[in-house]
Amino acid sequence: MIWTVELAAYLEDAPWPATRDELIDYADRIGAPYDLIENLKELEEDEEIYEGIEDIWPDFPEDDDFFYNEDEYS
């Protein structure tokens, strides 16, 4: 399972909290890339409820992870 920021962005407006099957259905309805749907299918099949992308991708980059200093370029 390989996650990218671009793939994760498709789940930004997902109906959180959601189960794996609900996320797969959502991704399918919005026309998300095949890779995203495959990543979701690799999640555990139990009825675990995911509260956000951080539950699926623990290393999800936060805004602080990007080293862009807005003041430096103003």
Tell me: the pLDDT tens digits for 2-51?
A: 888 899 999 999 999 999 999 999 999 999 999 999 999 999 877 899 99
How far is 38 from 33, CA to CA, in rounded Å? Answer: 9
User: How many CA within 13 A on the CB side of residue 62?
Assistant: 3
How far is 1 from 40, CA to CA, in rounded Å? Answer: 9
Q: What is the pTM of this model?
A: 0.79
For residue 65, the model assigns a pLDDT of: 45
35 contacts 18 by C-beta, under 8 angstroms: no
Q: What is the pLDDT of residues 50-69, one digit of tens each?
A: 999 999 988 877 655 445 55
